[in-house]
Amino acid sequence: MEQVILINCKPQTFFGNMYHDAVCRRAGACFCRQELTRSASGKKVQQKWPKGFHVFGKSQSEPLPKAVLYLEDVQAALQSGWLKSFDVPTTPSVLSE
């Protein structure tokens, strides 16, 4: 999975949510917090909540799925200069013989 690091250029913390439709589906993996609950009729249902992330002021994020670049708030922050993004280099897997 391709990853990206976001760098916060401002002193304010940036908060974002990795929404399922915008991030998980594009990344091919679900990052949502999931909980098994019961509906009003008593059936078991899986509930999902988007995983949040933050980038403290003047610091960088942990590696995030590259699909976060599709989030509107991230795009706006990149265009305004609040955030910068850098691809995380992928290391080729080494097979032992």
- If one counts every other C-beta atom within 10 angstroms of the C-beta of residue 20, the result is 15
Tens of pLDDT along the chain (97 residues)?
A: 899 999 999 999 999 999 999 999 999 999 999 999 999 999 999 999 999 999 999 999 999 999 999 999 999 999 999 999 999 998 766 655 5
Model pTM score: 0.84
- Among all chains, which residue has been given the structure tokens 């098994």? 36
22 closest CA partner among 67, 73, 76: 67
13 closest CA partner among 61, 50, 51, 85: 61
Domain layout of the chain by residue ranges: 3-87
